[in-house]
Amino acid sequence: MKPVLFIIPKFEFKMYLGFIVASILLLGGIFLFLKSRVSNIKDLKKNITSYAILMMAIITGAYIFAPIPIRTYGVAVALGFLAALYIAIKIGKNENINPEYILDLGVYVLIGTVLGARLFYFLFYDFNYLIQNPLKFFAVWEGGMVFYGGLIGAIFTGYYYVKKRKLDVLKISDIVGVVVPLGLFFGRWGCFGYGCCFGKVAPEKFPFAIRFPAKHFYGYSPAFEHQLFEGLVKHTDKFSLPVYPTQIISSINGLLLFIILYLLYKHKKFNGQIASLSLIFYAITRFLIEFMRVNPEFLGLTVSQWISILMTILGIWLYKYSKLIREKR
């Protein structure tokens, strides 16, 4: 468990100038190297200039605001987004879809995911805390990102963009259906780093149980704080009781789903097939994983389990609807 991956230290003005000079030399070298190998010098100059401005801004920001904690959650989410975007562009090229459309869609989906995940978390799990601390809505590095909320938000913003560009909704949905589990694979390591989305207390003989430290960078770790509230541990304890490693299980689940869906995509028979299978596969596995997680229950099931049931029904409907569209054509 490591909520902060590393901290950018405060450095002296001489080091700041050194970084600037080194960056200029580096970009200049790259420019001279590429100049002899590309024909469009105008675009090359524009790109190098953009990178230079970005690099100077990062170095200057680090100099002014350091020390800066680089949070594990943010890094994991960023890696997940970039990995998913890369695979989506790769698949899109095989489908003759302009990579710029995929990039723009990624931005819309990212915004929808963050807004939806945060809204869902506070509405169903911590609404009173949001009322008392409204600015905490934007503190995404502290966890509190519910996957189903993010998925719903991404569907709305993604659908809006796809319709705006007059793209094939079902074809784009298949691409998204493949890459979302890959993003989940990275994102759940962010959950593990922060300690959120933790599991229930595991049986003594469970071989893969994990203990979270009592405190981390932000205070009490979520698992320890919950067990402290339940009276299962004491303030003097240094670790939580052993719990199911639900974040790691969810991460592995995301990777396996991505591999399966990626292989199935190459053999799909109609648009919408992969998107529907992605919904069904994830909903079923999430329903099962929820039995190991600590979440409030409603009528015997957690909120995520009820949504998993709805998502399974939606996936089955989408499969039949997509197949019917194919047959009509």
User: Per residue in 128-154, pLDDT tens?
Assistant: 766 777 776 776 666 667 778 888 899
Lowest mean pLDDT among 93-97, 176-180, 306-310, 311-315: 93-97
In angstroms, the CA 181 to CA 177 distance is 8
pLDDT of residue 28: 85
Condensed to tens digits (0 to 9), the pLDDT of residues 156-211 reads 999 999 999 899 999 999 999 999 999 999 999 988 988 888 999 999 889 999 99
Q: Please, what is the average pLDDT of the chain?
A: 88
In angstroms, the CA 263 to CA 255 distance is 12
Contact 84, 204 (CB under 8 A): no
In angstroms, the CA 251 to CA 261 distance is 15
Quickly state the pLDDT bin for 285 (edges 50, 70, 90). Answer: very high
Q: Per the omega criterion (within 30 degrees of 0), is the bond before 134 cis?
A: no
pLDDT of residue 105: 92
Encoding tokens for residue 260? 């399966």
Q: Where are the domains of the chain?
A: 4-66, 69-200+244-328
Lowest mean pLDDT among 8-12, 13-17, 32-36, 239-243: 32-36
pLDDT surpassing 90 at residue 73 = no
Give the count of alpha carbons within 13 A of 10, CB side only: 3
- pTM for the full model? 0.82
In angstroms, the CA 319 to CA 280 distance is 10
Integer CA distances (angstroms), 182 to 148, 174, 293, in order? 15, 14, 21
pLDDT of residue 50: 83
Q: Whose CA is closest to 193, among 141, 148, 124, 258?
A: 141
